[in-house]
Amino acid sequence: MLLCCAAAALPAPPYRALIIDGQNNHAWQETTPVLRRLLEETGLFQVAVVTTPPQGGDFSSFRPDFPRYQVVISNYNGEPWPRPVQEAFTAYVRGGGGFVVYHAADNAFPEWPEYNEMIALGGWGNRDERAGPYLRLRDGKILLDSSPGRGGSHGARHEFLITVRDRQHPVTRGLPETWMHAKDELYDRLRGPARNLTLLATAFSDPSTRGSGEHEPMLFTVAFGKGRVFHTTLGHDLEAMRCVGFIVTLQRGAEWAASGQVTIPVPRDFPTAERVSVR
């Protein structure tokens, strides 16, 4: 009875979040628990995880109840979901659901048109000009470049500078204009429909680290119907996920996707233009 009442005294987190994993060319078994902890430590999310069957498995019982959640976080990069699940997920986001695209989740589902609309830009999976244009910055303005070529690449992992391009958006408001990100993959040459996209932050992909020579989109949001999508290309592995810049943008992006607003403050240990900061 006492336990019950003590627990009841704590306010319940306002948002329900669902992480989906189960197939990925990345170590989802390691990264999902970190995603979960980062969301839970905000006090804003009650987090559930659903793990798909392994490749070739029986997906008949994989039927997430998407409308139960304010935000879905994908840590999934694997075989296509069954048609009814695709349709349910599309309807969920279109109807106002929140969606966080985390790192290699933007490699997934090259053949699913609505998914590519939601993520706006993706890579690998034989993506090329048929997937849509590259997003390029020219004189501070977005240019969509439809020239032929592969979609998705990255050079050697390294620390790199992130430049915030929209300092008014709730996710990036109050962040320093530039900050050093911990050692990570810097995704380049992503391509996709790139519609209804708000570019939040970029990083220069240096040819000296086998990059594209372009300011590549790192963080952005996408409007899909009434739904809010936050896309972070960052967070390849546990080392990259220790970056306070990754942590805070993921947390704020998830809150924004769930609610349209951000209450999570910028912490004192946020990285600066000169210095990486990790937890």
> What residues make contact with Zn ion under the rule CB under 5 A?
185, 236
Instruction: State the Cα–Cα distance between residues 135 and 86, nearest whole angstrom.
Output: 26
Q: Which is nearer to Zn ion, 185 or 214 (CB)?
A: 185
The CA-atom distances, in angstroms, between 71 and each of 45, 111, 236, 253, 254 are 9, 23, 21, 10, 7
To Zn ion, the closest distance from the beta carbon of 185 in angstroms equals 5
Q: Which is nearer to Zn ion, 185 or 188 (CB)?
A: 185
To Zn ion, the closest distance from the beta carbon of 10 in angstroms equals 36
Q: Which two tokens stand for residue 195?
A: 């519609």
Q: Which is nearer to Zn ion, 169 or 191 (CB)?
A: 191
To Zn ion, the closest distance from the beta carbon of 104 in angstroms equals 5
To Zn ion, the closest distance from the beta carbon of 47 in angstroms equals 22
Residue 52, number of CB atoms within 10 A of its CB:
20
Beta-ladder partners of 170:
none
State residue 10 phi and psi, 5-degree precision.
Answer: -80, 130
Q: Which is nearer to Zn ion, 231 or 236 (CB)?
A: 236
| β-bridge pairing 187-188 and 153-154 | antiparallel
